[in-house]
Structure 1
Amino acid sequence: MTMEQREKRRIGFFMAILPLIIMIIVMLVTVVKLGQGPHMPLILGTTTAALVAWRYGFTWLEIEEMMYKGIKLALPAVVIIMLVGLTIGSWMGGGIVATMIYYGLQIITPGWFLVAITIICAIVSLAIGSSWSTMGTIGVAGMGIGLSMGIPAGMVAGAIISGSYFGDKMSPLSDTTNLASGLTGTDLFDHIKHMLYTTIPGLLIALGVYGFLGRRFADGNINMEQIAQTAAVLKDSFLISPWLLLVPLAVIVMVALKIPAIPALIVGIILGFLSQIFIQGGTLVSAIEALQSGFVIETGNEMVDALFNGGGLDSMMYTVSMTIVAMTFGGILEYSGMLQSIMDQLMKVVKSSFTLITSTIAACFLTNASCSEQYISVVVPSRMFTKVYKKMGLHSKNLSRALEDGGTITSVFIPWNTCGVFILGTLGVGVAQYGPYAILNLVIPFISIIYAATGFSIVKLTKEEMEEAEKEEKENIIEPIHAKI
């Protein structure tokens, strides 16, 4: 292809952003006003993007290839989503979730529950490097405990998300942590140390807010009789045993030992399946049904029935279809050059380290919203800004931190992003409910921007590093091939 032909295929800013504008407007009307799912707005956005790409000279076969590339990027995440559905079904039927909730009700007081669940999720996710696995296991049990205590679902989910994303951001085992450091050429542990400046204050603020919110549940406003009744129903409906806690512990230990998450989750599914048959006394048919369509139980207690009727592969099909539709839209935006055109406009406002870091965070959030995938929100802005940071004499760890502060963290606030969809499918709570209470995720981007404005913790390149950077003209482009787990 000649340079002249390339110029003819370049999509201008207005036409590049048009599909995104249409999608967001229709999304707001469909989801917020009409109360419907986000699938149709995403399909309309995909159709608009395809028409724009076709108008600028791309053939239908090329547009199809863009969509397939987008879907391919999400396939590992789709596998994890399905495995989490199987895990929840088998752990519900095996009494594992019931056991975690039962003992949680015994040892965690309502007033400190939000603080406790945040810390527990932070420790687990730090050990295994996985927000999704943490939310799909510890988080599900945490939702049950919190709801049993009468704490609003949004608060509980927000605390679980804050803790889960602390470890996802800070663990050396995390995919996004390794991706951000690798794409920017930053030493992994330098990257993690640099993130301490924004993440630790974010966690402390979150714990402070949760401690304040928990005060209203600590002075008798909670129906302790309901908690006792829930615990009694669990004991009557399941065989509760501390030995069942070995199942989630086994999964956590395997992932901490760097066993890939997929085989670790499969082991957890098998153990849950066997627990339902040999410990809970279920039949082979009921155990298979729990894996396929979810666990079903009728205790007569409305809250317990609501908590334990669910899980299974079928429960994740909404999430899977959402992920596939979202990634067809993101694929066209990415591979047609529309996203590049939008990012180019952002670059025009970059005049200082403050505007550069702020633009990076904004670009990550925009990518989360437009491409619907957390990985792309790290990959695409890293491609855009790496050379700019070097040109302005800023160390690469400033960029790697901004990528995580703006990309990894903010993905949960986009209802059609794979992370937002996963949380809805796993915890049963939507962005509108948990968004105001995902405190860590809310405050970290603003902390990062404040640092950029004041210059605090912004590291400049030395003269020697500048000279070395000038010799390195290669771009480190890595496609994300591991699922968000």
Structure 2
Amino acid sequence: MENKEKEIPFLLAILPMIIMISVMAVTIIKFEGSPHVPLIIGTIACCLIAWTQGYTWKEMEQGIVKGITLVIPAIIIIMLVGLIISSWIGGGIIASMIYYGLKLLTPSLFLVSICLICMIVSLAIGSSWSTMGTIGVAGMGIGISMGIPSPMVAGAIISGSYFGDKMSPLSDTTNLAAGVTNTDLFEHIKHMMYTTIPGLGIALIVYFILGRQFHAVDFRTGNINEIISVLEANFVISPWLFLAPLVVILLVVRKVPALPALTAGVFIGWFCHVFIQGGSIGAAVNVLHDGYFIESGNALVDNLFNRGGIQDMMFTVSLTIVAMTFAGVMEATGMLRSIVHQIMKLAKTAKSLIPATVGSAFLTNLVAAEQYISVLLPGRMFPEAYKAKNLHSKNLSRAIEDGGTLTSPLVPWNTCGVYIFSTLGVSALQYAPFAVLNYTVPIISILFAIFGIKVAYVKKGKTDVVEETAQLLGKKA
């Protein structure tokens, strides 16, 4: 595999990405189309360039297969979430959560409340996807019923979910970032607090300010009462139905893997559909595949509940496969490595190395369209550079999480962005301005590096670490 040692020149390596993003912008903004075709065009451009550089089709095909194989667990989870949504709607679980949410939550504090709720759940279970696919779906229903714009609601849900995903010791990306950089897990989590907690504080302030425009008197109370009446007329409403999400949360907290835990949630929802809501076995089975359908006479309720099922997730599955086809060729032919190497050439000092890492992780999200790659690739490529500059490895682990984990939902064709679109029904271009945590934390991370705040150095000949803030005073560690 001689070609794999040969690095494709930077200008050629970045050309497929430029082509893909340009076509993507025209397709989505001008023609309001889907991202599938632009990603396919980018893949074709990538293959043609790699072919001119001596790569064979077999090598490129192997990259495609490897890329798709990487996201097969994610694809299974996507389909399971589709099953959960349909079974929980059919079982009255989502209806009960919306019903009590409308009665208990204050409109002006809803954005703050849903962000904190999702944060707590995600911290407990370590999964943003599971949180958004369960609590997040109900939160969207409550917020939209209150008249809050769906992008705002989605942004608050995403911010809370990704805080927990990033900071939980149960999170796969948190463990991955610590493992790939050889950093102690809890040292990694502690070091992330310096950038993530201020980001959460800013997000909550923004949601509090945004929420002040939504007061109970402005919310067409009659409309909310009508929604509550429609829910009462079409579903058996009970707080006992909250046991379904609680069982899923407890299973994950008990370290049951995500797939079995979500599967248990599907069975509980199906059971509730048949034995509590009174649906037939055949109808409940069909709902799992085709999604739930209701004609309540209330357009808002119908829009909220006519969804779910395996079939509803096929757009997401196909887009995930196409995105990883592009990413697989980019990685297998060394184009992604060439782009990251070019960024590394610009990082001459510690102050520039950390921002370069954050930028590399975000760029990997753009090109590779997969959150795990955005953690793995910079995590594999930067350790020696950090050692050379006497930087502790937890700086690297924090930087790849700040730039990789958190920015993945901001990219429409990234697997996270695609998942959120299919789950919450809002596109990345719409919710991105309101996913405050996800873009403020990378900015904070870069600013801290530039000004030398909370940058950990390893003293030569010693094992202890100095939290370097003295650079602000012109001192050296």
Q: So what's the TM-score if we normalise by structure 1?
A: 0.94
Secondary structure of residue in 2 paired with 1:58: coil
Q: 1:136 aligns with which of 113, 120, 133?
A: 133
1:254 aligns with 2:251: yes
Residue type of the alignment partner of 1:415: P
Q: In the alignment, is the contact (CA less than 8 A) between 1:124 and 1:167 conserved in 2?
A: yes
1:172 aligns with 2:165: no
Distance 2:294 2:414 in 1: 32
Q: Which residue of 1 aligns with 2:368?
A: 371
The 1:334/1:6 distance shift into structure 2, 3 A limit, reads closer
Distance 1:467 1:325 in 2: 46
Distance 1:433 1:69 in 2: 31
Query: Higher RCO, 1 or 2 (CA under 8 Å, sep at least 6)?
Result: 1
- Structure 1 residues not aligned, in runs of 5+: 469-485
Distance 1:277 1:219 in 2: 36
Q: How does 1:113-128 map to 2 (within 5 A)?
A: 113-128=110-125
Secondary structure of residue in 1 paired with 2:16: helix
Q: CA deviation at 1:6?
A: 6.1
Q: Which residue of 1 aligns with 2:393?
A: 396
Secondary structure of residue in 2 paired with 1:460: strand
Secondary structure of residue in 2 paired with 1:459: strand
1:265 aligns with 2:262: yes
The 1:467/1:284 distance shift into structure 2, 3 A limit, reads closer
Q: CA deviation at 1:219?
A: 5.7
Q: CA deviation at 1:394?
A: 0.3
Distance 1:99 1:124 in 2: 18
Q: Which residue of 2 aligns with 1:23?
A: 20
Which stretch shifts more, 121-130 or 431-440? 431-440
Distance 1:226 1:114 in 2: 20
Residue type of the alignment partner of 1:87: I
Per-residue CA distance 1:139-185 (angstroms, 9 max, x = gap): 00000000000000000000000000000000000000000000001
Q: Which residue of 2 aligns with 1:108?
A: 105
Q: CA deviation at 1:220?
A: 2.1
Distance 2:206 2:70 in 1: 37
Q: Which residue of 2 aligns with 1:90?
A: 87
Q: 1:158 aligns with which of 152, 155, 158?
A: 155
Q: Which residue of 2 aligns with 1:478?
A: none
Distance 2:348 2:11 in 1: 23
Q: Which residue of 1 aligns with 2:274?
A: 277
Q: CA deviation at 1:10?
A: 3.0
1:149 aligns with 2:152: no
The 1:460/1:270 distance shift into structure 2, 3 A limit, reads same
1:71 aligns with 2:68: yes
Q: CA deviation at 1:33?
A: 1.1
Secondary structure of residue in 2 paired with 1:348: helix
Which stretch shifts more, 303-312 or 58-67? 58-67
Q: In the alignment, is the contact (CA less than 8 A) between 2:107 and 2:216 conserved in 1?
A: no
Q: CA deviation at 1:289?
A: 1.4
Q: Which residue of 2 aligns with 1:81?
A: 78
Cα root mean square deviation, aligned:
1.4
1:351 aligns with 2:348: yes
1:43 aligns with 2:59: no
Q: Which residue of 1 aligns with 2:195?
A: 198
Q: CA deviation at 1:366?
A: 0.5
Q: 1:424 aligns with which of 408, 421, 430?
A: 421
Per-residue CA distance 1:279-319 (angstroms, 9 max, x = gap): 00001121111100100111101100110000000010000
Residue type of the alignment partner of 2:316: T
Q: In the alignment, is the contact (CA less than 8 A) between 1:191 and 1:400 conserved in 2?
A: yes
Residue type of the alignment partner of 1:141: A
- The alignment covers a number of residue pairs equal to 465
Distance 1:353 1:150 in 2: 47
Q: CA deviation at 1:462?
A: 2.0
Residue type of the alignment partner of 1:312: G
Q: Which residue of 2 aligns with 1:293?
A: 290
Distance 1:255 1:434 in 2: 28
Q: CA deviation at 1:450?
A: 1.0
Q: Which residue of 2 aligns with 1:482?
A: none
Q: Which residue of 2 aligns with 1:243?
A: 240
Identity of aligned residues (%): 59
Residue type of the alignment partner of 1:306: N
The 1:467/1:404 distance shift into structure 2, 3 A limit, reads closer
Secondary structure of residue in 2 paired with 1:463: coil
Q: In the alignment, is the contact (CA less than 8 A) between 1:10 and 1:56 conserved in 2?
A: no
Q: Which residue of 2 aligns with 1:475?
A: none
Q: CA deviation at 1:137?
A: 0.2
Q: In the alignment, is the contact (CA less than 8 A) between 1:393 and 1:466 conserved in 2?
A: no
Q: Which residue of 1 aligns with 2:327?
A: 330
Q: In the alignment, is the contact (CA less than 8 A) between 1:251 and 1:265 conserved in 2?
A: yes
Residue type of the alignment partner of 1:274: F
Distance 1:258 1:436 in 2: 34
Q: Which residue of 2 aligns with 1:438?
A: 435
Which stretch shifts more, 151-160 or 45-54? 45-54
Displacement over 2 Å in runs of 4+: 464-468
